[in-house]
Each structure stands twice: as C-alpha cells, then as structure tokens.
Amino acid sequence: MEEEQPNKSNTKATPADSVEAPPSRPQAAPSRNRRPSNRGFATMLENTEALPTSELHGWSAVPTLTSKRSSLQFYATTVKEDVRPTSLQRRTSELSSLLAPLEDPEETDDLPEELPPLRGSSNLSDLSTFSTTKSSKSSSIDSTASTDSFDSTPASLPSATPTSKSTGESTGETKETKTKEKDASPFFNTRRGRGSSAEDADPSKKKIKKISKAKKKHMRRTMEISSDGGGVHVVPPKSPPSAPEAASLKVLTRKKSAPPPVSMKMIQRTRSMTAAKKIAKEEQQRASFDAANPLTKENIIERTTSGKGILCDTLEYSWRSQRGYYPNEPKKRNQDACLVLPSKDTNGRAGYFGVYDGHGKYGDKVSEYVRDSLPKLIQRSMNEGTYVDSSNFDEAYSNMYVDCNERLHRTRKIDDSCSGTTAASAWIENKTVKVANIGDSRVIVGRKRTKATKGSTHEAIPLSSDQTPYRKDERERIKKTGARVITYDMLEGKIPIHENWDSIELGVDVDEGGDPPRVWHPTGKYPGNAFTRSIGDNLSEPLGVYAIPELTTHVLLDLDEYIVVASDGIWEFMTNQQCLDIITAAKNLDDACEAIVSEAYRLWITNEVRTDDITAIIIKRKM
C-alpha cells in the first residue's frame, strides 16, 4: 500500500500501514566518543522475542537522529572477541538508553507480518531485516523499529557503533528532519569477512578499488543502513563536507599542544654538554700529541724567539718564531726571519712588517741577508716624499725587492745557486695596506662579522695569493720558459703526468696529498721548487722563478681589526679561517701569537715526523 506523504504542518499524518511510535523516554544523551558494548544487545534481545544471548550474532539497530533524515541508522562493525569486561560495562548504560523505545514488548505486535529480504553482506543473508517508515517533518520521531528473529547459526559477530549526531537535547526531542532516499551502496568490509553487494550481479558497474586501513576504519564508524520500498540496503559514508558546510559544523578536535618552552636550565645543560665533548676531544688530541711529541716544553722555549710593540700609535703587534724539528738534523738553524720597522725608519708615516722563509742549504743566511738589507733599501727608495698614494710608490716598492735579489747574487759570502727565501710584507700607512708577496708566505686581514656565526666572530680575507704551481697562471708562465711542472712521483714515473690541480685553492683548502707540483729543469732533476717566485735561487731564475713581487692594495674598513703575516709553517696544515679563529679566541696578542704557533707545531707533529720553521706576526688596530 502506498504511503501517504507527510504534511508540512505540525500535525502528524498517520497512514494505515505505518507503525505508531511509542512515546520516547527521557534519557541522557549518549556520548559521541563511546561505543556500546555487547551487553546492550543482549538486553535488547531478552526484552524482544529473539535468540538467546549466548547465540547472539548479527546486526544491531540503534535509532539515531540526523538533520536530513529520520530513518533508522544502523552501524555495522566487528567486535574483537577479547573485549575487556570493563570496556563493556562502561558502554552498557549508554546503549540501553538508546534502545529504550525497543525494549517495550507491546511494540512487537505492531510489526508487519512479512519483511522484505536484507540486501548486503552474504554472511548475513539468513538475518531478518528491519522495516522503517518515513517520518514526517515534525518535532518528534515517527519511526520505530524492532527485531523479529535471528538465525541460530550465524557466521560472524558484528557490533554496532553509534555515531549519530543528535540536534536535540535528548533522544526524544529533535528538530524537524527531511526525508531523502538514497540509492543502494556498494558492499562493505568487516574484519572477519568480506560481504557481497548488489553491484556484484551487475558487471556494468565499477568495482570498488582496494581501500586503505584508515578508510576502512572510517567506513565502519560512519556506515549506516536505511530502508526504502525495496528493502534494507547499506549506504556508504558521506563524502567530507565542502568548505561552507564544514564551517557550519561543530567539529570536536583535539588541539595540538604547543611544544614545551625551553628553559634556561636546559639551554645551559646543552651548552655544558657540548663544552664537555669539546674538552674531551681536545684532551684526546693532546694525549695523542704528547705521545708523538719529541720535544719537551723546555726544548720548545729554547727554539722560540718573540717580540711585541706599538707602531704609529694605532698598531699593536706581536711576533713569534719557532725553529723546526728535523730528526736527522737536530741542530739545524731556524731559516725563518722577520722584520718590523717603525715609521721613523720608513717614510715617516708607515709601519713595515715582513716575514722571510729561507730554504736550501744556506736558506738561513739568505733570509737573514734580506732582513738586514731591506731597511737600508727602504730608506733609500722610500724617502719622505714617497707615500702610499703617490704615483711612483708601487714601482719603488717593487724595485726594492729586485735590488735586494741582485745584491744577493753579487755577494760572495752566500751561495744562493740553490738557496733562497720567500718574502711576504705589509706596508701599513694610515688606512691603506700595501702587500708585496714573493713565494708561498701569506698575508690576511681579520674582519669583524656583522652577524657572528657559530664559533667565528671574524672573517678571514686574504690579501695575497700563494705563488705556487697550483695556480694555473703561474704554472703557464713557468712552462713558457721550457720548465717542467710535475710532482716527484711523476718525475720517477710512478704515476702518469697530469695537471689536475686547479680544484685546490690554497688558503681555503689544505693540500693533503703530500706531493705538490714542482718546477724542474727540462732535462735535469733539479731544482724542484714548490713555489714560482723567490729571492735567491740563481739556477731557477732562467726557469721563471724570479724576485718580482705581486703587489695588492687594501683599504682598511672600521671592521678590519687584525692583520696576519706568516710563513708557510703556519699555513701548511691550517686554513686562513682556522688561524683567525684561534687568534680571536685568545685574550691578548701574545697569547694569540703563541696559540697559532703551538697549533701549527702540533699539526706538523701529527701529520709528519718533522716540523718546518714557524713564524707569524699579528697586528691589531686600535679602534
């Protein structure tokens, strides 16, 4: 018999074939976050003419209220057999309140005699279905449901998880709802078995793809069963609401807790742990160094000379030189020399700082000769009318070293055929620094960082470039004279000849190969210089190794605080930045000078069985 459409007024329309709903009992609203236990279903079945509780398996019906439909909502899910009794006891009272209208035994008389078959899971085919009637748009519920009978040998035990959203204060009072029919849905999955659907019989319909575990969980929580004229069918969960609808819904979500604030105690603890690790690492390095160190503190003091002073009222300086350690030549002299000249010995305005690193059999005599000769040459070349901003300054400054080299060749006291020296110097006049470089000694400036980085407050800026065969321009200049630029192993034929050295930038990188490229005669195994410019080395001059310096000019900024002039004994195993970090960490210039010389000595002993001569001058500007 066709149902009569409900009236839009507040008066109920009761068709002849509909079931009149009993008055609802005022009960407390169920919790949304809780799920009814199996004891609630047992209570329902005992009050209706149903299967004994021990054989209960199948569907459970829970009447719920929604804003768009008043049909019965059924929730199907599986219940693990190992549900804890405490969990069941907490849910029993809530499910009983939801099933209160079904617990009246008089309602079973009003059910129709025959019910349409249930469509859904195949393992629930013997289960009798529920019938619901369409509700009118009123302020009360006009639909009821009850159970008839259940199969005595079911296959699985699904349980119900009510997640209905009630808009009223209790289950008996809701707002007006709309009736809306839904089409048949695809089959649903349970943990114990996979059901079949009406779509399986129709191959034209697309089959459902494999669903993730999270999606299955969402379907079990939100799946509902509704009834139309053809019987009971499963309705899939609704898609997520759109942005406007989602804005109107009150979603209960757990707020993400903010990370706990970091206390000063925790910061100090982290810093202390980092400092402890650093100290432990330093102690380990010191222990290994002490085990390999062939010199005592007294021996090192005997090998060291130092000095300090102030020039031009704004330049504070400190210098230190340590004689190298050679196991086969324990009494070998220090071949390094340094020179500091005040303004009265220059042009009256500038200070001069120079380091000279001798090499060869008579390298010590060559470096000392240059140190002693330059003051006279400076006074003759740099008179009071020649200043750093003069047009002839660069020529006079460069010719000073060329003249020194020629004088060395003419002297009979020193054999400079295979001996010589490098030279790195800084002429500081007001805020201008004029650097003259010959060989592989180096000059850098330490500039304060505007934003200090981790472990570094100053930036190292090179004011000179090492003149070695690592530089492509110097290598090509040497090769034009007919000289060979190869390593020892290439000379001996141990490895093929190549020129793959352009990737190394001295000052930024450290040469860890131990076999640098050298300058060789076209047919002989000499001289083997690891630099391309020097003072002396008479046999190497025809091969392009001459004493013409490279000049660079640097204007000091207010942030430029340190100037370092040092021999290659410092730079052999240390980069510019590492050297500057050690200097800035010291309390004063004397400690800074001692620190970098000691660190260079430690690196030499760690990497080789000998040490080179180590010399450094540190200048600090008074701000």
| Residue 294: CATH number of its domain | 3.60.40.10
Domain boundary among 210, 240, 270: 240
Residue 462 in any domain: the answer is yes
Instruction: Locate 321 and state its tokens.
Output: 């030189």
Residues 58 and 127 in one domain: yes
Is the distance from CB of 51 to CB of 152 less than 8 angstroms?
Answer: yes
Is the distance from CB of 323 to CB of 333 less than 8 angstroms?
Answer: yes
- Closest alpha carbon to 366 in 426, 411, 324, 425: 411
Residue 517 in any domain: the answer is no
CA distance 241 to 247: 9
Residues 457 and 389 in one domain: yes
CA distance 549 to 464: 11
Contacts 24+ apart (CB under 8 A), 23-27: 23/172, 24/100, 24/101, 24/140, 24/141, 24/170, 24/171, 24/172, 24/173, 25/100, 25/101, 25/172, 26/170, 26/172, 27/97, 27/98, 27/100, 27/170, 27/171, 27/172
Q: Which domain holds residue 317?
A: 289-466+547-621
Residue 281 in any domain: the answer is no
CA distance 234 to 130: 13
Runs of H (alpha helix) within 225-362: 243-248, 264-292, 297-302
The CA–CA distances, whole Å, from 610 to 287, 289, 326, 419 equal: 18, 13, 5, 20
Q: What is the pLDDT of residue 522?
A: 94
Residues 190 and 296 in one domain: no
Residues 461 and 345 in one domain: yes
Residue 312 in any domain: the answer is yes
Count of structural domains within the chain: 2
| Local structure of 459: helix, strand or coil | strand
DSSP run (H or E) holding 61? strand 61-62
Residue bearing tokens 């069963």: 225
| Local structure of 355: helix, strand or coil | strand
Residues 175 and 317 in one domain: no
Residues 231 and 353 in one domain: no
Residues 312 and 426 in one domain: yes
Instruction: Locate 354 and state its tokens.
Output: 């120079």
For the chain, which ranges sit under pLDDT 70?
1-260, 262, 384, 452-455
Any idea what the Cα angle at residue 13 is, between residues 9 and 18, rounded to 5°?
A: 150
DSSP run (H or E) holding 155? none
Residue 495 in any domain: the answer is no
Residue bearing tokens 């062939």: 294
Looking at residue 51, what DSSP letter applies?
-
Is the distance from CB of 75 to CB of 224 less than 8 angstroms?
Answer: yes
Looking at residue 18, what DSSP letter applies?
S
Residue 615 makes CB contacts below 8 A (sequence gap 6+) with 319, 320, 321, 322, 336, 337, 338, 355, 357, 566, 567, 569, 570
Domain boundary among 181, 206, 240: 240
Instruction: Locate 203 and state its tokens.
Output: 């191959």
518-540: burial string, b at 16+ Cβ within 10 Å, e else:
bbbbeeeeebbbbbbbbbbbbbb
| Local structure of 400: helix, strand or coil | helix
The one-letter amino acid code at 506 reads L
Residues 430 and 571 in one domain: yes
pLDDT in tens, 77-130: 444 444 455 566 666 666 655 555 544 444 444 444 444 454 444 444 444 444
Residues 152 and 92 in one domain: yes
Instruction: Locate 441 and state its tokens.
Output: 């000694």
CA distance 224 to 293: 83
Residues 68 and 172 in one domain: yes
The CA–CA distances, whole Å, from 25 to 80, 97, 507, 562 equal: 31, 9, 89, 90
Is the distance from CB of 590 to CB of 308 less than 8 angstroms?
Answer: yes
Burial of 69 (0-12, 13-18, 19+ CB in 10 A): buried
Residue 18 in any domain: the answer is no
Q: What phi, psi does 527 have (nearest 5°)?
A: -85, -20
CA distance 220 to 236: 10
43-60: burial string, b at 16+ Cβ within 10 Å, e else:
bbbebbebbeeeebbbbb
Report the largest interatomic distance among the alpha carbons of the chain, rounded to a whole angstrom.
Answer: 138
- Beta-carbon neighbour count of residue 429 at 10 Å? 20
Q: What is the pLDDT of residue 217?
A: 60
The number of CA neighbours under 13 Å toward the Cβ of 403 is 14
Residues 293 and 171 in one domain: no
Residue 586 in any domain: the answer is yes
Domain boundary among 240, 258, 275: 240
Residues 235 and 318 in one domain: no
Residue 27 in any domain: the answer is no
Q: What is the pLDDT of residue 118?
A: 45
